[in-house]
Amino acid sequence: MTASTPQRQLHLNINALHSGFVPSAWRLPRSDVRAFVDVQHYVRLARIAEAGKFDAIFLADNASIADQIHFRPITALEPTLLLASVAAATTHIGLVATVSTSYNEPYNIARRFATLDHLSGGRAGWNVVTTADAGSARNFGRSAPIEHGQRYARADEFTRIVKALWDSWEDDAFIGDKNTGRFVDTGKLAPVAHHGTFFDVHGPLNLPRPPQGHPVLFQAGGSADGRELAALHAEAVFSASQSFEEALAYKREINARAEALGRGPHAVKILPGLTTIIGATEAQARQRRDELVELIPWDYSLNRLAGTLGIPVERLRLDAPLPEKIALPADGNHTFFRATLALARRERLTVRELIRELAGGGGHRVIVGTPDQIADDIEHWFRHGAADGFNLMPDALPDGLQDFVDGVVPILQRRGIFRTEYEGTTLRQHLGLQRPAGRTVTRAAA
């Protein structure tokens, strides 16, 4: 490689999960227990990540109380509003919000993300999800979740409508000529006129095309339906892989599926989740991990693990391996199910050991080590094709993020695989993604 060939660059998102990924993070002496409802906490995270030249801040979401809140914080503040507020306090970092296709209307969601893109100058991303949990279903008039296949069929149709709405204005439809009094060239607007299985949406959208053309589409496809949805629409995927081999296979599969759909050979960026527990020495990092795990009640962790695996908690024994037969749950998160089960089987872990390896968490990989060890791991996955970057979920926030930015980012920068300055201003530019061309709908204005 010569100096004139720019090296492929790593992408880093911060998953701004309230007090941090480890369920006991809120109990650390320096943690703010009110972080989960404090916009200033999220502003702080975004600013630290922006100083570290991260691609984006990412917010998960749920439409019900989806964890055991007697013990730990949940996703509470609605992500698109929270990021609209964060946008006002930042200048470059991308803003990626999770919004479900299961209990929303495409017109409203097209509009919210177009708005976020306009008000952030082209920094919006949408993590397209379906909602599988029974608690959410009961908040939207249903006694049970929408069936898995239907959920994904709805998500596909929903996403197609949203894209069409974003394209319902040509880029130059807005004129604003004070002299002639022409405000919009209505000949450059067209209805969507969608009549589908789940939705009828006429359009056009009631605001101009977003600065990015389309806000960047993220997805997290674990199941077969989810992988196909990712191949159809995702520009980047938040994956969950516990091993290099799983990650490599997943990345190849998604891109092969996308290529089979005519999207080119490297259409989808794969960003596995990665929890970091950082210490000046490996021993110190391990001690931090063990102290955090000790602060989590075992009952909490057992119930959470049982939930991930879709089995009654009574089937788990702390000092025994997982039960031999565990069926893929019809509903629930297949990504976390597979990753958790694979880790336990491969390493032959007892339930107690599994919970410790997961740092009490729910399926994402945890690295415990020094900044150099973490940088080595990241570089290995990145250089050998298992990841295009990572969705970072530090043990505790903001400290775990600050430690990563201070300790790991400079190493990655010295190794030439992570930017030292932003080269663009939009999330698409950070990710090296093309701006979608949009439709040409020009006709004689009415």
Using CB under 8 A as the binding rule, the residues of this chain from 93 to 112 that contact a second copy are 103-105, 107-108, 111-112
Contact present, 269 and 297 (Cβ < 8 Å): no
- Decide: is 202 part of the binding site for a second copy (CB under 8 A): yes
Tell me whether residue 200 or residue 282 sits nearer to a second copy (CB atom).
200
* Contact status, residue 156 vs residue 424, Cβ threshold 8 Å: no
What distances in angstroms separate CA 10 from CA 144, 186, 326, 409, one per listed residue? 40, 42, 36, 11
Site residues (CB under 8 A) for a second copy, limited to 285-304: 295, 297
Contact criterion met (CB below 8 Å) for 240 and 21: no
24 is an interface residue for a second copy by CB under 8 A: yes
Nearest 5°: CA angle at 59, between 381 and 105? Answer: 120
Return d(Cα 435, Cα 213) in angstroms, integer. Answer: 6
Residue window 110-149: x/- pattern of binding to a second copy, with contact defined by CB under 8 A: -xx--xx-xx---------------x--xxxxx-------
Q: Pick the binder of a second copy from 47, 150, 171, 185 (CB under 8 A).
A: 185
148 is in an annotated binding site: yes
Q: Considering the complex, state which of residue 77 and residue 367 has its C-beta at the smaller distance from a second copy.
A: 77
Neighbours of 369 (CB within 10 A): 21
**What is the smallest separation between the CB atom of 185 and a second copy, expressed in angstroms?**
8
- Work out whether 208 is an interface residue with a second copy (CB under 8 A): yes
Nearer to a second copy, 33 or 51 (CB): 33
In the complex, the smallest distance separating the C-beta of residue 330 from a second copy, rounded to whole angstroms, is: 21
Q: Considering the rule CB under 8 A, would residue 39 count as an interface residue with a second copy?
A: yes
Q: Does 197 bind a second copy (CB under 8 A)?
A: no
Contacts of 35 by beta carbon, 8 Å cutoff, 6+ apart: 18, 19, 26, 41, 73, 397
If phi > 0 it is left, if psi is from -120 to 50 it is alpha, else beta; for residue 232 that is: alpha
Q: Minimum Å distance from CB 143 to a second copy?
A: 8
What are the Cα distances from residue 149, in Å, to 4, 145, 181, 234?
48, 11, 50, 18
User: Rule CB under 8 A: is residue 78 a binding residue for a second copy?
Assistant: yes
The answer to the question of residue 74 lying near a second copy (CB under 8 A) is: yes
Q: Is 441 in the site for a second copy (CB under 8 A)?
A: no
Q: For a second copy, which residue of 9, 13, 15, 31 counts as binding (CB under 8 A)? A: 31
Query: Nearest Cα to 343, choosing from 316, 327, 321?
Result: 321
The pair of three-digit structure tokens given for residue 187, joined into one six-digit string: 């000949």
DSSP-assigned states of every residue in 52-65: TT-SEEEE---SS-
Q: Which residue stretch of 32-40, 327-335, 371-379, 424-432 sits at the interface with a second copy (rule: CB under 8 A)?
A: 32-40
Pick the binder of a second copy from 47, 171, 207, 367 (CB under 8 A): 207
Radius of gyration for the alpha carbons in the chain, expressed in angstroms and rounded: 22
Among 7, 8, 33, 372, binds a second copy (CB under 8 A): 33
Scanning residues 318 to 377, which ones bind a second copy (CB under 8 A)? Answer: none
Q: Read off φ and ψ for residue 94, nearest 5 degrees.
A: -65, 160
- Which residue number, 9 or 131, has a Cβ lying nearer to a second copy? 131
Nearest-angstrom CA–CA distance, 382 and 376: 10
* Phi then psi dihedrals of residue 180, to 5 deg: -85, -15
Q: Which residues are annotated as a binding site?
A: 61, 98, 148, 152, 223
Which residues define the annotated binding site for FMN? 61, 98, 148, 152, 223
